[in-house]
A and B are shown apart, each in its own frame.
Chain A
Amino acid sequence: MRWTLLVILAVLALALSVVLGPAAVPLGELLRSDIVWSLRVPRALLAFLVGGSLGVAGAGLQALVRNPLADPFLLGLSGGAGLGAVLAIALHLSGPWALPIAAFLGALAALGLVYRLGLIGGASLDPRILLLGGVAIGAFTAAITTAIVSLADAAELRNAFLWLWGGLSGASWDSVLLVALYAPIPLVVLFAASRPLDLLALGEESAGYLGADVERVKRRVYLAASLLTAAAVAVSGVIGFVGLVVPHIARLTWGHRHRSLLPAAFLGGGALLAFADTLARTVVAPRELPVGVVTALVGVPVFAFLLKRWTIA
């Protein structure tokens, strides 16, 4: 029943994204409208894929670092992506994909650095060091980004921040296809790690006794979740709260078993971002709100509610 409800919710969020928009498209013309097929449908699908990816990445990382506050962007990826994007503009790299590719490479560079820091204590990937390394690399890259922006004359560099704040304005069939081809690989890696992630909750030693290859799982989950997040940030900037809040909401309904939790986080994240984007496009039309503002407005009260529950428990 709860799966049926979640699927209905996801389909409803997608349908609303297609039907509603700032431009008036009569219902009878929906199937023939260029606005719908060229802009709304790819945007709705991209929102769903990005939201779902962030939801799964968040659930995986929270299990990996055993910290409920872990967010896909906590591990320095947003800082790396931001630096990549700003460098692309500062170096006048042209081409329609220059910014997303530079952001993706920046996120990958941050991922590599944080990963190296995570191994600083030896061959074992230390989740605590990962978190601290992520925060440090994030702060370091943010400082360099700010320095470049403050030294630059070009208004374009300041506008790079607009891109980084996150949004789905750049959605097209190309970006949908790109994410649809790319995301399944890290998603499958994460789904395949469901059982070991359940065991990891008992502690690394216990997970090892129960048959999990702890080191391999940690590396795979970290790399898969980070690669998923890097792709999300490349096509949509940094959209906060989805990867933080959705896993918690899914856990309330589906419990801590990752076999159910991860698919629920995917559908829930997709539905939340598609719905938030519809609100962002329509509530102040013809103007548009950054979608991150909407996810934060939805996410913060939910998170406050969850914090209250934990405190009472």
Chain B
Amino acid sequence: MARRPDLVVLYNAGPNVTAAKQLERAGIQTVLIDLNRLEDLGPAARTLGRLTGRNEQAESLAMALDSTAGRPPPPSTTSLAFVVWDNPPIIIGHGSYLDQLATQAGARNVFGDVAAPSAQVSLETIVARNPEWIAVLSDSAAPPAFAKRREWRAVRAVREGHFLLLPGSLFGRPGLRSGEAIQQLRARLAR
């Protein structure tokens, strides 16, 4: 409030809804944006274009983003599991942005049947589902620390060093570079 912005853009989640109401009460214009999946990108661009008076440019951008989101996925040729935490194992399930990225890049998320963006699972479930790749959001080129843990060596992809180390800045959230993220993921899976 002290910086007196003309517009505050907030991610649409619990505490931000309260913050938006407080800012509105203080006379500051706010907008809450859903940005969880590829199809949220186009509407977000249009909303921001309308609020900043750049409708034309926003529409052009939104059409390109809508086209990325609406592209029919290629047939899956490989499988992966996104591991976001190792102890307890937390994986990415159906309906999340990363699940969409995998599908668009031609990979089957082995936890695509889990009806939650992320979920805690047993390690033995990962072993049984036997993904060809373990995908991890990481800015490092080194395999994750859990790769050295004996219990994780039961997972074939871990034993064989089949890790997809995906930089968080590109893969972490939907954005203008989502198309690039899909291309990069596809290229890495093809190696």
Binding site for B on A (CB under 8 A): 21-24, 34-35, 38-40, 42, 94-96, 98-99, 155-156, 159, 162-163, 167, 169-174, 281, 285-290
Contact = CB atoms under 8 A, between A and B. Distances in A.
7 contacts: A22-B128, A23-B128, A38-B153, A42-B151, A98-B145, A172-B149, A286-B111
Contacts of A167: 87-88
A212 B159 CA distance: 56
A24 B90 CA distance: 20
Contacts of A35: 124, 127-128, 154
A23 B151 contact: no
A308 B119 CA distance: 37
Given A23-B125, A39-B127, A169 B154 contact: no
Given A156-B85, A286-B113, 8 more contacts: A22-B124, A38-B153, A38-B154, A96-B148, A286-B125, A287-B116, A287-B119, A287-B120
B90 A172 contact: no
B114 interface: yes
Contact of A286 (B86, B121, B146, B150): B121
A106 to B, nearest CB: 16
B89 interface: yes
Looking at B86, B111, B124, B146, the one whose CB has the most chain A CB atoms below 10 A away is: B124
A171 B113 CA distance: 26
B122 interface: yes
B123 interface: yes
A39 B154 contact: yes
A169 B123 contact: yes
B122 A21 contact: yes
Contacts, number: 94
B122 A22 contact: yes
Closest 3 CB pairs of A and B: A23-B128, A169-B88, A172-B151
Contact of B150 (A23, A94, A156, A174): A174
A39 B151 contact: yes
B125 A285 contact: yes
A172 B151 CA distance: 5
Interface residues of B, number: 29
Interface in B101-139: 111, 113-114, 116, 119-125, 127-129
B90 A94 contact: no
Contacts of B116: 287
Contact of B114 (A21, A42, A173, A287): A287
Interface in B145-174: 145-146, 148-151, 153-154
Nearest to B168: A155
A288 B120 contact: yes
A278 to B, nearest CB: 11
Contacts of B88: 162-163, 167, 169, 288, 290
A35 B128 CA distance: 8
Nearest to A154: B168
Nearest to A282: B122
A288 B151 contact: no
Interface in B60-103: 84-90
A287 B121 contact: yes
A163 B120 contact: no
A34 B122 contact: no
Contacts of A42: 151
Contacts of A21: 122, 124
A40 B123 CA distance: 10
A285 B111 CA distance: 12
A280 to B, nearest CB: 9
Of B120, B123, B125, the most chain A CB neighbours within 10 A belong to: B123
B148 A23 contact: no
A70 B111 CA distance: 42
Contact of B151 (A22, A171, A287): A171
A5 B127 CA distance: 35
Given A35-B128, A39-B124, A286-B121, A159 B149 contact: no
A173 B150 contact: yes
Given A42-B151, A162-B120, A170 B87 contact: yes
A288 B123 CA distance: 10
B147 to A, nearest CB: 9
Nearest to B137: A155
A195 B154 CA distance: 46
